């Protein structure tokens, strides 16, 4: 999709559709909206008064363009959470998604708020994301040509074209991230993911793949134990940007949980919604896509993406509850629940990243169901040590329109993970389990570190006005912005 910047007045822009946000505070209409509505012949007010759009109930309403040169006006709910990138991104995504299958080739978006560069960039990413069709991944044959129509060009009124060009690269990265997460487990398994990532060498990246013998020699038994019951062996993928080698004493490693399918292993999950467990590689998809995007925006960023890739399957060779493994850092782990596998692969991957010279770490994982229950589909939980490193990660999320919320790293719970048989158990009691999962991972890092639990935000279980069913591409833009800030030498904890 093309992104274009224009300084045109919204009342005179030429497009099939003009998307106009309505905010909660627009009662009565502000001067800007009142002037546009007057030029249009009052069609926006008429639609609201008639009940075609209610800000408390509707995400959008498509109405006639009235006296404007556009064919239609798309009234878009301005989303209640504050001004800025988060609202701009979601609003733009709702707008282009609403027009799927409608034959509107060119949409103009008027943000009204006089957004800054971050706001316009977030809107651009959201607009492209709204055209994403997961059904195109495998070529669903029942779709007609009309159903496949999407917005081909978005005009952002008041934006800067250079910024939109960069945002287009970011948006392409989000789409690739969603594709990786959405791909079926029989199509994208650990070795296949490694093959896909080899393409990043064309962007100047160094791609290193560790197979079972190399990981065994390094002592990555926590990671290997998770994958030992699967037909497809585990791999660890590392993508180093050209700037990694020159990073000196400041190097950022982004580590993503890559479980290509998570049956739960011997601690088998319920059958209901187990098909969604192909998305348990969303963390890996995020970090690999971020590396790809950073290589195109600033290859000098001192960043490495690490993706431990496994399948967690039951079977005669599978890891069992009660087994004890020794992680790469030498600590022993008693396996009390084979469905608490993500923290095991992260333990070895994070430690390995430190041995490669990482001075700062961020991991992204669809780790705990309780994160989804606590925060739902909008907010990702994060833990940080030290806090100012967490503040920088959150600032990167805010700038790109993603919503993070800090949780306490209550290391006081560490004693509840004690066991007579090893240094630590991989799963404690359910109470406080969101925090305890982070406390577990904390045992395997020694550098500034942030843990993002995206179990609730990585994919949609059903179609929504904001996203179709499937992967969202969560955390990818946060990681890219963090990498750009890191490369720019902005304050680092």
Quick: pLDDT tens for 429-480. 889 999 999 999 999 999 999 999 999 999 999 999 999 999 999 999 999 9
pLDDT for 375 = 96
Chain centroid to CA 40: how far?
Answer: 39
Q: Are 72 and 65 in contact (CB under 8 A)?
A: yes
Identify the pLDDT of residue 434.
97
The whole-angstrom separation of Cα 333 and Cα 321 is 11
Q: Which two tokens stand for residue 104?
A: 């509107």
Token match 């292993």: residue? Answer: 265
Instruction: Give the helix ranges, DSSP H, for 257-368.
Output: 282-297, 342-355
- Confidence category of residue 27, pLDDT binned at 50, 70, 90: confident
Sequence-distant (6+) residues with CB within 8 A of 90 are: 79, 126, 401, 466
216 pLDDT band (50/70/90 cuts)?
Answer: very high
Whether 96 contacts 131, CB under 8 Å: yes
Transcribe 24-73 into DSSP letters.
Answer: TT-SSPPHHHHHHHHHTTSHHHHHHHHTS--TTT-SEEEEE-TTSSSSEE
Q: d(Cα 252, Cα 237) in Å, to the nearest integer?
A: 16
What are the distances in angstroms from CA 137 to CA 1, 175, 283?
17, 11, 20
Nearest-angstrom CA–CA distance, 336 and 324: 9
Q: What is the mean pLDDT of the chain?
A: 96
Q: Which residues contact 452 (CB under 8 A, 6 or more apart)?
A: 283, 362, 363, 364, 365, 380, 381, 382, 393, 404, 475, 478
Query: What's the whole-number mean pLDDT along residues 138-165?
Result: 96
Catalytic hit among 102, 149, 269, 469: 269
Does pLDDT of 246 surpass 90?
A: no
Q: What does the block give as tokens for 412?
A: 């006081």
Whether 493 has a pLDDT exceeding 70, the answer reads no
Taking residue 141's Cβ as centre, other Cβ atoms within 10 Å add up to: 6
For residue 251, indicate whether it is catalytic. no
Contact 137, 179 (CB under 8 A): yes
pLDDT at position 486, please?
95
Task: Tell me whether the omega of the peptide bond preceding residue 284 falls within 30 degrees of 0, making it cis.
Answer: no
Instruction: Confirm if 342 and 428 have CB atoms less than 8 A apart.
Output: no
Residue 105 banded pLDDT, cuts 50, 70, 90: very high
Instruction: Check residues 172 and 30 and name the one with the higher pLDDT.
Output: 172
- Pick from 337, 333, 335: nearest CA to 269: 337
Q: What is the pLDDT of residues 384-430, one digit of tens each?
A: 999 999 999 999 999 999 999 999 999 999 999 999 999 999 998 88
Of 329, 356, 347, 174, the residue nearest 253 (C-alpha):
356
**CA angle in degrees (0–180, nearest 5) for 198-200-203:** 145
- Is 317 annotated in the active site? no
| The pLDDT of residue 124 | 98
Q: Which of 112, 199, 101, 183 is nearest to 145 (CA)?
A: 101
- CA 286 to each of CA 14, 103, 116, 258: distance values in angstroms, whole numbers, following the listed order: 37, 32, 26, 10
* Alpha carbon of residue 55 to chain centroid: 27
Q: Any idea what the Cα angle at residue 277 is, between residues 271 and 283, rounded to 5°?
A: 160
Q: In this predicted structure, what is the pLDDT of residue 57?
A: 92
Summarised one tens digit per residue, pLDDT across range 154-202 is 999 999 999 999 999 999 999 999 999 999 999 999 999 999 999 999 9
Q: Which pLDDT does position 328 carry in this prediction? A: 98
* Cβ proximity of 475 and 402 under 8 Å: yes
Closest C-alpha to 150, from 107, 195, 181: 107
> Which of 177, 317, 340 is closest to 233 using CA atoms?
317
What are the distances in angstroms from CA 410 to CA 54, 406, 479?
Answer: 43, 12, 25
Closest to 157 (Cα-Cα) out of 22, 1, 11: 11
The token duo for 304 is: 């490495």
> Given 343, 385, 394, 436, which residue is catalytic?
343
Report the distance separating Cα 467 and Cα 125, nearest Å: 13
Contact present, 411 and 442 (Cβ < 8 Å): yes
Query: Rounded to the nearest 5 degrees, what angle is found at the Cα of 129, between the Cα atoms of 62 and 240?
Result: 170
What pLDDT does residue 80 have? 66
Q: Please determine, for residue 247, whether its predicted confidence score (pLDDT) is greater than 80.
A: no
pLDDT score of 82: 66
Q: Strand 424-425: give its sheet, edge to edge.
A: 324-326, 332-334, 424-425
Question: Residue 26 — pLDDT band, cuts 50, 70, 90?
Answer: confident
Residue 79 predicted with pLDDT over 90: no
CA distances from residue 102 to 62, 79, 98, 107, 126 in whole angstroms, order as listed: 10, 23, 8, 12, 18
Report the alpha-carbon distance of residue 298 to residue 171 in Å, rounded.
15
| 117's tokens | 């560069």
User: Is the link from the previous residue into 141 a cis peptide, with omega within 30 of 0?
Assistant: no
| 491 has a pLDDT exceeding 70 | no
CA 91, 106, 159, 52 dihedral sign is negative
């Amino acid at each position: 999709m093309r992104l274009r910047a224009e300084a045109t007045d919204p009342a005179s822009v030429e497009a099939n559709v003009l998307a106009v946000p309505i905010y909660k505070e627009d009662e009565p209409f502000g001067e800007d909206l009142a002037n546009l509505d007057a030029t249009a012949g009052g069609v926006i007010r008429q639609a609201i008064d008639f009940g075609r759009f209610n800000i408390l109930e509707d995400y959008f309403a498509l109405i006639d363009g009235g006296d404007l040169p556009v064919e239609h006006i798309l009234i878009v709910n301005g989303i209640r959470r504050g001004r800025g990138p988060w609202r701009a991104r979601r609003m733009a995504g709702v707008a282009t998604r609403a027009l799927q299958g409608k034959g509107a080739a060119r949409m103009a978006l008027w943000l009204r708020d006089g957004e800054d560069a971050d706001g316009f960039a977030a809107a651009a990413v959201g607009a492209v994301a709204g055209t994403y069709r997961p059904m195109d991944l495998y070529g669903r044959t029942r779709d007609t040509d009309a159903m496949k129509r999407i917005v081909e060009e978005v005009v952002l009124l008041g934006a800067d074209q250079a910024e939109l060009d960069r945002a287009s690269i970011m948006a392409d990265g989000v789409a690739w991230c969603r594709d990786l997460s959405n791909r079926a487990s029989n199509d994208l398994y650990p070795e296949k993911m490694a093959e896909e990532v080899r393409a990043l060498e064309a962007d100047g990246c160094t791609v290193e793949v560790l197979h079972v013998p190399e990981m065994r020699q390094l002592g990555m038994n926590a990671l290997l134990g998770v994958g030992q019951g699967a037909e497809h062996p585990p791999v660890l993928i590392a993508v180093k940007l050209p700037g990694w080698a020159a990073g000196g004493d400041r190097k950022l490693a982004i580590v993503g949980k890559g479980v290509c399918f998570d049956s739960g292993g011997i601690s088998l999950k319920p059958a209901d919604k187990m098909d969604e467990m192909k998305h348990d590689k969303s963390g890996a998809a995020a970090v690999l896509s971020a590396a790809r995007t950073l290589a195109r925006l600033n290859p000098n960023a001192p960043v490495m993406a690490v993706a431990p890739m496994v399948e967690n399957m039951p079977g005669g060779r599978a890891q069992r509850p009660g087994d004890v493994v020794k992680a790469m850092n030498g600590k022993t782990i008693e396996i009390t629940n084979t469905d608490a596998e993500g923290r095991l692969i992260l333990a070895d991957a994070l430690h390995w990243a430190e041995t490669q010279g990482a001075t700062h770490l961020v991991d992204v994982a669809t780790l705990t169901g309780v994160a989804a229950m606590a925060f739902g589909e909008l907010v990702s939980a994060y833990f940080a040590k030290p806090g100012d490193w967490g503040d920088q990660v959150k600032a990167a999320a805010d700038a790109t329109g993603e919503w993070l919320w800090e949780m306490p790293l209550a290391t006081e719970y560490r004693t509840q993970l004690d066991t007579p048989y090893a240094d630590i158990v991989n799963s404690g009691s359910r109470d406080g389990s969101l925090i305890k999962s982070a406390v577990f991972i904390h045992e395997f890092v020694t550098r500034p570190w942030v843990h993002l639990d995206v179990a609730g935000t990585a994919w949609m279980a059903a179609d929504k006005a904001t996203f179709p069913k499937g992967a969202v591409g969560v955390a990818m833009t946060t990681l890219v912005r963090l990498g750009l800030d890191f490369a720019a030498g902005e304050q680092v904890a």
